[in-house]
Structure 1
Amino acid sequence: MKTARVLGAGVAGLCVAAELVARGCAVTVSDTATQPGPHACSWWAGGMLAPFCEGDTADELVVRLGQTAADWWEGQGVAVTRQGTIVVTLGRDRKELDRFARRTQGHFWLDTDGLTALEPDLAGRFERALHVPAEAHLDPRAALKHLRDRLEQAGVDFVAEPSQADGLTFDCRGLSARDALTDLRGVKGEMVVLRSTDLRLTRPVRLLHPRFPLYVVPRTDGLFMLGATQIESDDRRRSVRSVMELLSAAYALHPSFGEAELVEIGADARPAFPDNLPRITRRGYTIHVNGLFRHGFLLAPALARMAVETAFDGTKPELLHEDHA
């Protein structure tokens, strides 16, 4: 039986382990943490599987590869909600919605009645909106826990020890891999979780704003994850300014957020290369899977598949960087 080691048990490492198990490999995952938790940047993710919306600022590759994510996660038994995405702007920023529509695909326009039919609690708040029906979302924390449990049941050995290459190794350590990938940088992201008993949303809503863009992702039990900050820093401290901006934008989206319970504030640094695109880097028997930026749950499945194909099929995917040093 083929054997392989995975370094790191965040979203990238777990996806690689799942692809290896599908190949019939005996897999060991090394991570100093015993369970998914706040030590990993994937714990703080929004969980939006929204490749078409990402086309506003991301490379075509992100849009194309991201379209396979929802099917992959469902194939692993993770609960995926396929209700699409709503995109809105405040009245004074209506040109932002026109610009977004020109730069993206897969959407159609909604008038006030159309938006009300999809999200009744947004009735009367926006004159028009975009609906991107093919997009989806999941709960990142539940997905991480489910995938880890599934891998353990499949015989994957999780060891709580320092990461160390041994034979065929997939290095998925995120920013911790800067000892080997010197051009990795941290991009700080901050999030807020609120609980509201007065507001119901069934799909993620993006509020476009020239200064304070916002996305709101509904979760269970009246919880809403608010995110959007993107700061060039690997500082993990939570800032008052960012939280105030998120809450102000949420209140502009709907006043009910002003009465919501503040449940959690979080921050972490996401690994990114200078071009904000992920890479698969092969160095002998070690394959690095890194640079997922803010597209972890969206691109990790495709990257994992490519990395495993590189190891076992000798393919050279478009994201492969050969390193013969």
Structure 2
Amino acid sequence: MTVHHILGAGVMGLCTAVELARRGASVTVHDPLGLPGPHQCSWWAGGMLAPRCEGETAEEIVVNEGLKAVDWWQAQGAEVTRNGTLVVALGRDRAELDRFARRTTGHSLLSAEEVAEIEPLLAGRFSRGLFFAEEAHLDPQAALAALVVRAKELGVRFTTDSAAEGNVIDCRGTAARDILPDLRGVKGEMLILHSSEITLSRPVRLLHPRIPVYIVPRGDGTFMLGATMIESAERNRASVRSVLELLTAAYALHPAFGEAEIVEIGHDARPAFPDNLPRLRHAGGRLCLNGLYRHGYLMAPALARMAADHLLEGRNALLEEALPA
């Protein structure tokens, strides 16, 4: 049996391993740094499965394929919370909410009373909101761990040996710039906060003309606050300005965040092509799956499915039509 060698154990590599293995393929995942951890940008993701919201700026394929991602993640054993997404704006930024509504679909307009009904913490703070009922969220680190369990159940082998020959699938993210010269890094920074005084049931996006932010509940009073988008491949530090802006936005959402504990600061560079769309591309004698940009948990299952169709069924037309190289 042909062995498919996947380079990289981040979200793209693990999704591909699971998708191939569940169709009966033999798969080995190579990552010199081992299983998923802080060395991968997918470790620091927000975990929002929010394709409707992403449609504000993303192409239609991100919305359409992202809508399928919720069921895919749940089917692989990840814990998915289907409580939708709430989008709000401060009074001075009310026009931002109108603009967001025009550029997205699948939402309902909430009054101040309706905002307070679904998120009591925000009672009296926002006169309107947009609710995207189809959307969901997950804990990225727990979801990656669930994928590892699922992959091993399907017979996937993991190794820290980086040498791979034969049928190689490159899922190395920004490290693949050695064979994908048009790949770039887009830096993201996030914070993990903890407060026993704050309760949110779903991700909340606070719109701002310059620094829109989102807050994602992770359970037990823990929240993920993110995220910046900086055109830089630098991965090793978070800037004072970014952290200050994120914390200021959280305080604007609710002053109780001013007393929250900063548990962790995360930062990494997301891989992106010039048009911010992912690609399945042949380069360096291998199939490369890359360019997830800020849509990793939405689009990795779709790329994995397309790669499996291509490798196991020879469906080149879908490969070229859906995500042209």
TM over 0.5: yes
* Aligned counterpart, 2:92: 92
Extract unaligned runs of 5+ from structure 2: none
Number of residue pairs matched by the alignment: 321
* Aligned counterpart, 2:137: 137
Decide whether the 8 Å contact of 1:280 with 1:319 is kept in 2: no
* Aligned counterpart, 1:233: 232
* Aligned counterpart, 1:214: 213
Decide whether the 8 Å contact of 2:22 with 2:154 is kept in 1: no
The aligned runs of 1:35-114 (5 Å cut-off) are: 35-114=35-114
Q: Secondary structure at the match of 1:246?
A: helix
* Aligned counterpart, 2:300: 300
Decide whether the 8 Å contact of 1:279 with 1:319 is kept in 2: no
Deviation of 1:35 after TM superposition, in Å, equals: 2.0
Decide whether the 8 Å contact of 1:167 with 1:285 is kept in 2: no
CA deviations 1:13-33 (Å, max 9, x no partner) are 000000111111111000012
Decide whether the 8 Å contact of 2:273 with 2:291 is kept in 1: yes
Q: Secondary structure at the match of 2:88?
A: strand
Decide whether the 8 Å contact of 2:9 with 2:34 is kept in 1: no
Decide whether the 8 Å contact of 1:214 with 1:226 is kept in 2: yes
The aligned runs of 1:160-199 (5 Å cut-off) are: 160-162=160-162, 164-199=163-198
Amino acid at match of 2:176: A
Cα separation, 2, equivalents of 1:165 and 1:48: 33
Q: Secondary structure at the match of 1:145?
A: helix
Cα separation, 2, equivalents of 1:320 and 1:208: 30
Decide whether the 8 Å contact of 1:282 with 1:320 is kept in 2: no
Cα separation, 2, equivalents of 1:3 and 1:266: 35
CA deviations 1:152-184 (Å, max 9, x no partner) are 23221100122x442212110001111111100
Decide whether the 8 Å contact of 1:281 with 1:320 is kept in 2: no
Amino acid at match of 2:219: T
Cα separation, 1, equivalents of 2:195 and 2:270: 28
Deviation of 1:264 after TM superposition, in Å, equals: 0.4
Q: Does 1:15 align with 2:15?
A: yes
Identical pairs, percent: 62
> RMSD in angstroms over aligned alpha carbons?
1.2
Amino acid at match of 2:15: C
Amino acid at match of 2:252: A
CA deviations 1:21-68 (Å, max 9, x no partner) are 111111100001222110000000000000000011111111111110
Cα separation, 2, equivalents of 1:278 and 1:177: 13
Amino acid at match of 2:223: F
Q: Does 1:157 align with 2:157?
A: yes
CA deviations 1:197-232 (Å, max 9, x no partner) are 111001000000011211000002110000020000
Deviation of 1:320 after TM superposition, in Å, equals: 4.7
* Aligned counterpart, 1:34: 34
Cα separation, 2, equivalents of 1:256 and 1:45: 24
Cα separation, 2, equivalents of 1:82 and 1:108: 16
User: Normalising by structure 2, what TM-score?
Assistant: 0.96
CA, structure 1 residues 285+321, in 2 after alignment: closer, same or farther (shift >3 Å)? farther
The aligned runs of 1:245-324 (5 Å cut-off) are: 245-283=245-283, 286-315=286-315, 316-317=317-318, 318-321=321-324
Q: Secondary structure at the match of 1:68?
A: helix
Extract unaligned runs of 5+ from structure 1: none
Q: Secondary structure at the match of 1:287?
A: strand
Deviation of 1:113 after TM superposition, in Å, equals: 1.2
Cα separation, 2, equivalents of 1:139 and 1:122: 23
Cα separation, 1, equivalents of 2:149 and 2:301: 17
